[in-house]
Amino acid sequence: HIYNMDPSTSVPCARDKLAFTQSRAASYFFDGSGYAAVRDITKRGKFGQVTRFDIEVRTPADNSLILLMVNGSMFFRLEMRNGYLHVFYDFGFSSGPVHLEDTLKKAQINDAKYHEISIIYHNDKKMILVVDRRHVKSMDNEKMKIPFTDIYIGGAPPEILQSRTLRAHLPLDINFRGCMKGFQFQKKDFNLLEQTETLGVGYGCPEDSLISRRAYFNGQSFIASIQKISFFDGFEGGFNFR
């Protein structure tokens, strides 16, 4: 059968293009149990005189792994400790691993708001950390090219995190819990859910996933709510403490 359809009077159903044309705007929720792996990242871009990784993160967590690349005994790792960013990397340097950290505490990122993180490797000898488009820290190193093809986002398989090489330098193995978006390599977008190796990652950024369920009291503090509480017939609750 042939049907004459007028799209001006009967608007066709729109196709969801989020995964294809708006991957920069797509948010991904990491539940803390998995990771996303991008294999052979050089298919989309090449390591050059200036190599750049960009990602936006949103989390209330204190500690977590954000990005990881591994090749034998060589590695690159971007992680968060007590809300501040640290970069550990070794591309085969004669002096061993390099540690770049936010020593001046310029950018605390565990406030459950989105923060743009950029890692820039310039001329094979300078690592630069930028947060929310502000320079945080730079570190010079022995001139060496980046020796990786795969990148893990928000975590990594246990056999990699627990390998002897990484454990010697990278004791933190807490997978990321929170939201990420806008992952780019050399300004090329990646849809994380289109990758063949993705675990514990979904679309969206549910607000209740960012609620802090832990509080610390110093003996002179308290928590109060000014929200009006309606009357109810029954109530049941509980909490743990130590």
Report the predicted TM-score, pTM, of the whole model to 2 decimal places.
0.78
Domain 23-210: give its CATH architecture.
Sandwich (2.60)
Widest distance between CA atoms in the chain: 78
Domain ranges in the chain are 23-210
97 near 90, Cβ under 8 Å? yes
Local confidence pLDDT in tens for the 242 residues of the chain: 445 555 455 444 433 334 444 455 689 999 999 999 999 999 888 999 999 999 999 999 999 999 999 999 999 999 999 999 999 999 999 999 999 999 999 999 999 999 999 999 999 999 999 999 999 999 999 999 999 999 999 999 998 988 877 777 666 678 999 999 999 999 999 999 999 899 999 999 988 777 666 666 777 777 776 666 666 666 666 666 66
R_g of the chain computed on alpha carbons: 22
Q: Which of 58, 44, 105, 101 is nearest to 77 (CA)?
A: 101
Is residue 192 classed as helix, strand or coil in its secondary structure? helix
